[in-house]
Structure 1
Amino acid sequence: MAALTQDRNTPRAEGELRQGGVAAATLIYAGALVMRNAAGFLTKGQTATGLVGVGRAEERVDNSAGSAGDEVLTYRPGIYRFANSGGADEITVAEIGDVVFAVDDQTVAKTDGSASRSPAGHVDAVDAQGVWVRLDEALTKAS
């Protein structure tokens, strides 16, 4: 496409809600940590490689009997509190700003579990109830 030679009404995305096709054989619960797989489909947070955190599920979507993309999930990027791992993987205030890794659809850890976990997002804060994680796909991929 050639460069502009006149004004253009360039479309923009409104609001914070995003949507995407759900991976095959996947059930995602409302409130779950949502990740994108290497094929571009959404899945729940889990211990696996090749994923990246994108947001929190705004609804429950059941694609457990479907093919990839048969169901669409609405999710929202942002900062959300998830459960903290324990032991050597427990996240502390010293990790604020660091990348954290998905353990499951509600738990994050300090390490990649010997290269078995994918990045979920960045630590925004830590409190007695868990870890506040900034879920921003572009930021996490760039880290």
Structure 2
Amino acid sequence: MTALSQARQPIEIEGKLGVAPVKGATTIWQGALVVAESALAVPGKTATGLIVLGVAEETVKNTGGDGAAKVKFRRGTFDFTNSAAADEITAGDIGKDAYIVDDQTVAKTSGTNTRSVAGKIMSIEGGRIFVRVGF
């Protein structure tokens, strides 16, 4: 490919929405944290090596094999439930990483290297933890 010799109109996608194939026999609820595990979408859970995709736009029940259904997800800053008191996120943690406990809960630590990073803690309001996910 050569350099431009005239103006062009580039195609832009916002990058906030995406679609991913869902692991077989898996349900992802609307509003759940969606992660990729072995290239397939699953609900957030305690495990290492997960890649956060975003938050599910709709409920998807894949009753077939791997990839038989797809989930739409959105990247952004969303509210999650705070972990138990022993690993609770506090105001001093804003700007730090939050770690995945399950598809709606985040924690302050990696749980002795058993959890994947969910995203950056952006704020805490009314007991809800707002985390920037999918970037």
So what's the TM-score if we normalise by structure 1? 0.83
> Which residue of the partner structure matches residue 88 of structure 1?
86
* Cα distance in structure 2, aligned partners of 1:94 and 1:14: 32
Cα distance change, pair 64–96 in 1 and its aligned pair in 2 (3 A): farther
> Which residue of the partner structure matches residue 48 of structure 1?
47
* Cα distance in structure 1, aligned partners of 2:77 and 2:132: 4
Which stretch shifts more, 5-14 or 82-91? 5-14
CA contact (8 A) 1:29 1:59 kept: yes
Letter in 1 for 2:3: A
User: Does residue 136 in structure 1 map to residue 134 in structure 2?
Assistant: yes
> Which residue of the partner structure matches residue 105 of structure 1?
103
The Cα offsets for residues 67-125 of structure 1, whole Å up to 9 and x where unpaired, read as: 1x221111111111111001221000100011111100010001111111111111111
Letter in 2 for 1:72: K
* Cα distance in structure 1, aligned partners of 2:39 and 2:4: 31
Say how many residue pairs are matched. Answer: 135
Give the 5 Å matches for 1:1-143.
Answer: 1-14=1-14, 16-37=16-37, 39-67=38-66, 69-137=67-135
How far does residue 23 in structure 1 lie from its aligned partner after superposition? Answer: 2.6
Aligned-residue CA RMSD (Å): 1.8
Cα distance change, pair 64–108 in 1 and its aligned pair in 2 (3 A): farther
Gaps of 5+ in 1: 138-143
CA contact (8 A) 1:84 1:130 kept: yes
So what's the TM-score if we normalise by structure 2? 0.88
Gaps of 5+ in 2: none
How far does residue 31 in structure 1 lie from its aligned partner after superposition? Answer: 0.6
